[in-house]
Amino acid sequence: MNTFLNAIRNCLRGSFLVLALIISIIATILLDVRDLRSPANAKTDMPPASVAPWHDPSWTPSTTVPGLHTRQLDIGDLAGGGTTRVGVLEPTIPAVADVLFIHGHADRLDNHRALFTSLAQRGMRVISYDLPSHGKSRLAPIDRWSIDDLTELTARVEHATHTKHPLILSGWSFGGLIATRIAQEPTRLHRFSRPIRALILETPAVAPLPFVGGDGIARARTLTHDTDAPVAAPPTPASPFYNPLFATRLLTEATIAAAHPLPVGLPTLIIGSDPEHDRYIDAKKVATWATGVAKKTGANITFRTCHGARHGVDIEAWPIGPAANHHITNFIAKTLTLATAATRTSNSTPTPTEVTTACR
């Protein structure tokens, strides 16, 4: 009986992939025709825009993340065209590193207040941006963006917000998949203005489930147990099915990522969720990849599982969310051997045992 049911599930999944591929091809053709008719979407040779100084009125304070400032960054010469919202949170003590954070699908840059605040308190300058079709980006639909395009977009944001500090690349869920694919391709790593010193992957979508949230719709209550999580907006777009080409590429890139290791010499922290609670990725497969294929060539990987965690580990209820953020900030501090002042600030209040042991 179980064999029969598994066969039906595999058949349905295969049918879904074929249907998604057909829809994706049609969508691509229609979008290409639209581009031919609209000169506004033509590519240009305009160089990347620079982020304005802090006194520039184009910077807008966030109402969700204290200290975070955002503005639109023109990336008009990229394939998608338009502008994307970039956010920068300066640290509360002298800066020692830049953390470039890529958010997930149905997410936005200002949905991760606790994580951003934890990083800023440890001397880390946080940089993020809204993906196409997400947040307040003014870009072509995400269906138009390949993983290579998204890599270039990420690199543009890094160039525009560049400092002399070490660079850490971080991502959650789909953002974790983007970060993974960047790390796995040397040519993509070379697009940034400086070496990436460490990689942080929060529940990366290297093994996505076919129906996010359990029924194909992303909801806050299936992402975290914290019903009062301080997010800027509910999950939007609520389903990958709204962007069929994106959904197909997501599955393709996840398959590629899961079959390849991470590079030697790039310290990496991977935080996993609980297989019994995560309805967005196959947490067991992610754990198998993180402890097997990902490190088969000798990559320096630290893997932590947050027991009881849903998919949104850094916005989870106490003690899981604080535990995930504790491990992330400590990992960066250890990797970069931060200044004594930064370490002393983080240790001024002892961390509860429940927090230090929630993710192991």
| Same domain, yes or no: 290 and 230 | yes
Residue 10 has pLDDT above 90, yes or no: no
Do 1 and 97 share a domain, yes or no?
no
Q: Are residues 76 and 95 in the same domain?
A: yes
pLDDT in tens, 246-266: 999 999 999 999 999 999 999
- Count of domains in the chain? 2
Task: Retrieve residue 86's tokens.
Answer: 């970039």
Q: Are residues 147 and 19 in the same domain?
A: no
Per-residue confidence at 348, pLDDT binned at 50, 70, 90? low
128 and 17 housed in the same domain: no
**Are residue 220 and residue 291 in the same domain, yes or no?**
yes
Residue 24 pLDDT grade (very low, low, confident, very high; cuts 50, 70, 90): very low
| Model confidence band, residue 55 (pLDDT cutoffs 50, 70, 90) | low
Query: Residue 47: pLDDT above 70?
Result: no
Residues 6+ apart with CB under 8 A from 266: 183, 196, 198, 199, 299, 300
Give residues with Cβ within 8 angstroms of 260, minimum separation 6: 184, 293
Q: Is the pLDDT of residue 223 over 70?
A: yes
User: What type of residue sits at position 62?
Assistant: S
- pLDDT for the residue numbered 339: 42
State whether 341 and 219 are in the same domain.
yes
241: pLDDT strictly greater than 60: yes
Q: Return the pLDDT at 73.
A: 94
- At residue 34, the pLDDT reads 36
Mean pLDDT of the chain: 86
Task: Give the structural domain span for 20.
Answer: 1-42
Read off the pLDDT of each residue in 200-228 and give the average, rounded to a whole number.
97
pLDDT of residue 351: 83
Mean pLDDT, to the nearest integer, of 10-35?
45
pTM of this prediction? 0.86
Which span out of 160-164, 277-281, 351-355 was modeled with the highest average pLDDT? Answer: 277-281
Do residues 29 and 168 both lie within one domain?
Answer: no
CATH number at residue 308: 3.40.50.1820
Would the pLDDT of 131 be above 70?
Answer: yes
Shared domain check, 54 and 31 = no
Give Cα separations from 131 to 92, 268, 322 (angstroms).
27, 23, 25
Distance CA 6, CA 113 (A): 40
Taking CA atoms, 303 is separated from 103, 186, 300, 310, in Å, by 20, 23, 10, 17
Does residue 97 carry a pLDDT above 80? yes
Lowest mean pLDDT among 89-93, 190-194, 342-346: 342-346
Same domain, 209 and 350: yes
Say yes or no to pLDDT of 98 above 50.
yes
pLDDT at 94 over 60: yes
Q: What is the predicted pLDDT for the residue at 309?
A: 98
Question: What pLDDT, on the 0 to 100 scale, is given for residue 337?
Answer: 83
Q: pLDDT tens, 162-211?
A: 999 999 999 999 999 999 999 999 999 999 999 999 999 999 999 999 99
Instruction: Give pLDDT tens digits for 134-162.
Output: 999 999 999 999 999 999 999 999 999 99
What residues pair up with 202 in beta bridges, in sequence order?
172, 271
pLDDT at 291 over 90: yes
Rounded mean pLDDT, 5-19 = 47
- Whether 209 and 335 map to the same domain: the answer is yes
Q: What's residue 349's pLDDT?
A: 65
Judge whether 281 and 309 are in contact, CB under 8 Å: no
Same domain? For 88 and 211 the reply is: yes
Distance CA 348, CA 356 (A): 15
Higher-pLDDT residue of 273 and 342 is 273
Which of 133-142, 145-154, 274-283, 340-349 is the least confident region?
A: 340-349
